[in-house]
Structure 1
Amino acid sequence: MLDLAEDLLRWVEEGRGFAVATVVGVTGSAPRGPGAALAVDSEGTVIGSVSGGCVEGAVYELCAQALRDGRSVVEQFGYDDEDAFAVGLTCGGTIEVLVTPVTADAPARGLLRSALAAAAEAAPVALVRVAAGPPELLGGALLVRPTGAGEGTLGGTPELAAAAVAQARPLLEAGSTGTIAVGEDGSYCPGGLTLLVETSTPPPRMIVFGAVDFAAALVRAGKLLGYHVTVCDARPVFATRARHPEADEVVVDWPHRYLRRTTTDARTALCVLTHDAKFDVPLLQEALRLPVAFVGAMGSRRTHEDRARRLREAGVSEAELARLRSPIGLDLGARTAGETALSIAAEIVATRRGGTGTPLTGSASPIHHEERESGALLTRGAVRSTPRTG
């Protein structure tokens, strides 16, 4: 639901009634993960998607029915071996979809408006709903912010709400959407309730060091992947808004000094394109000691060997050096700036998603890597989640 925040917030403010279908579970190969949503308003307008087209017609009908009868339902869609043209996922997986009506007088409408408003402004917020459990609990919603108690109700005990808040916070901190299993009394026992935790956080950061020609192409690729992109260079003649108009920020500063004073987190990607030792070495000394998602550096293999030698001499450990992706990018045979940016972006995605970077043709590995976790028992401390990109 939160991935449709801007449109749904407009519908709420216009007083429209609508129903939202949200993916709450995935088994096997499926095009979209938990949190993907499709919404239908009272006039039949559709936004969003839960499957990339496979079951959208059937989900549309479920939303229309929910608007008519005012009841939340959970429906499962899977592949039909006997009739590939029947309603189902022809990619072979199974998804569970929670359909929730949001009428003009729905008790949770005000709470949903708060959640949607926060998500539309990229403020950190989590929305918790019952994805599996007694039908009377399917319509509840709980809003969780980084601090404070939860807002709203799941319709159960206070212990359930407290457990939901406690379990939602780690997902919110990680910027992930996933499901957790709890008992109706708030205990962490399997076989009770399954809660969907949707999170909205500010987009992850990509910091591109070196305002070279390749940087402009990488900025475009980073924006396509949903990153908030900063370009940093100590040379004011290169670090200009005119050269990098699509960047969210252009900073003139020594790279290592800027990295020390800026904010990074476990989702941040750092791309070093300067391939100049006076910039690279002090910068990578800082970068390789930060708990970020990705650190890559451009340059030839000879440049990499020289850079690695200098970093060792500067005190960088072998474990720290092993985190460095250099030469940066996957082997695509790239030559142009755009092709090089694509190869870098591809490596960032592969690192984030656990991909191999090998062709899917002839490969026996899963296309959607989340299915490696499918069927896992969700107990205390075990969360099935899908990181967001912003």
Structure 2
Amino acid sequence: MTGIGVARILSLLDARTPFCLVTVVASGSDSALHVGGKIAVFPDGTSEGRVGSDRLTRAILDVSLRFLGAEEPGQVRFTVDGAQLANRRRMRDREVAPDTVELLFEPCLPPPRLVIVGAGHIAVPLCALGAVLDYEVTVIDDRARFATRERFPGAHALLVDDFSRAIESLEITPWTYLVLVTRGHEHDEATLQRVAGSSARYIGMIGSKRRVLVVFDRLKRTGVDETLLSKVYAPIGLDLGGRAPTEIALAIMAEIVNVRRRGGAKSLARFIHSEVGLADPGADVADEA
């Protein structure tokens, strides 16, 4: 086994590099699978360090990616040939059979990032809710009098710029959650055109049925693929029936949590998506749950 050391792990954490830390917690093998040995597996399927045979290493990579996606830790037992035996989240019995190894998988991820495009009346409670839930919140608006620290004390960053330029300046990752709540569909359209094909975990857009249909139609005319639009949650939010800004913000944040945690709650977007022949944006979430 060739593992990585504490200094390298701390370096990855300091750099906010997403990875899954895999640790040998029990071993019934006579090979060099030492208890305490660690490797790091990254979202692209690469790794630093090596545990056991090629087949075991490949199995570990596959399982690591699943734990990264779930954002939860867990323990799994394997044979030294890479066959998975059990997924045990709470281990009591540390005894392992000969030629087996038990591994702890710990996703080490940067804080989830909530990007709110538009600093209007819904953005204020949405930012507060995101901060309470430990999201790193960025608020964007092209009006300096709206994107202020007084209105958004919980924001990690405030960007005052053209919406398109501001979005292009951000690094969008699978741990980014984008909320489009601008004052006009032209801003939503321009922003959505730039982020529809991004790796963002969630893209939601506010708007009436008519506004959403107009934006989707215009984007399809410009060549945006329908499969990308089908992943956009619009109208945004869970179907909670709220009308006040704080209630709408709650529905939006609840939908984000639902997507992140692979919940089964129903999104408002499913109604319009079915009407225009787009897939339910929550279908993938339901399949993974």
Q: Is the 8 A contact 1:211 1:233 kept in 2?
A: yes
Q: 1:39 is matched with which residue?
A: none
Is the partner of 1:213 in helix, strand or coil?
coil
Does 1:130 find its partner at 2:24?
yes
Identity %, equivalent residues: 31
Displacement of 1:283 after TM fit? 0.7
Does 1:262 find its partner at 2:170?
yes
Of 19, 36, 41 in structure 2, the residue corresponding to residue 140 of structure 1 is: 36
Separation (CA, whole Å) in 1 of partners of 2:216 and 2:114: 23
Question: Which amino acid is the alignment partner of residue 228 of structure 2?
Answer: E
Of 109, 115, 129 in structure 2, the residue corresponding to residue 207 of structure 1 is: 115
Q: Is the 8 A contact 1:171 1:199 kept in 2?
A: no
Distance 1:145 1:193, change over 3 A: closer
Of 318, 333, 338 in structure 1, the residue corresponding to residue 246 of structure 2 is: 338
Q: 1:11 is matched with which residue?
A: none
Is the partner of 1:306 in helix, strand or coil?
helix
Q: 2:180 is matched with which residue?
A: 272
Q: 1:65 is matched with which residue?
A: none
Q: Which has the larger radius of gyration?
A: 1
Q: 1:314 is matched with which residue?
A: 222
Does 1:286 find its partner at 2:189?
no
Distance 1:345 1:245, change over 3 A: same
Structure 2 unpaired stretches of 5+: 86-99, 267-284
TM-score in terms of structure 2 length: 0.70
Q: 1:27 is matched with which residue?
A: none
Displacement of 1:297 after TM fit? 0.8
Is the partner of 2:24 in helix, strand or coil?
strand
Q: Is the 8 A contact 1:181 1:188 kept in 2?
A: no
Separation (CA, whole Å) in 2 of partners of 1:159 and 1:288: 37
Question: Which amino acid is the alignment partner of residue 205 of structure 1?
Answer: R
Q: Is the 8 A contact 1:128 1:168 kept in 2?
A: no
Q: 1:190 is matched with which residue?
A: 84
Distance 1:197 1:350, change over 3 A: same
Question: Which amino acid is the alignment partner of residue 150 of structure 1?
Answer: G
Displacement of 1:280 after TM fit? 1.0
Does 1:150 find its partner at 2:46?
no
Does 1:219 find its partner at 2:127?
yes
Displacement of 1:243 after TM fit? 1.9
Q: Is the 8 A contact 1:183 1:189 kept in 2?
A: yes
Separation (CA, whole Å) in 2 of partners of 1:238 and 1:331: 28
Distance 1:167 1:275, change over 3 A: same
TM-score in terms of structure 1 length: 0.53
Q: How many residues align?
A: 248
Question: Which amino acid is the alignment partner of residue 105 of structure 2?
Answer: V
Question: Which amino acid is the alignment partner of residue 276 of structure 1?
Answer: G
Q: Is the 8 A contact 1:206 1:269 kept in 2?
A: yes
Is the partner of 2:84 in helix, strand or coil?
coil
Question: Which amino acid is the alignment partner of residue 283 of structure 1?
Answer: T
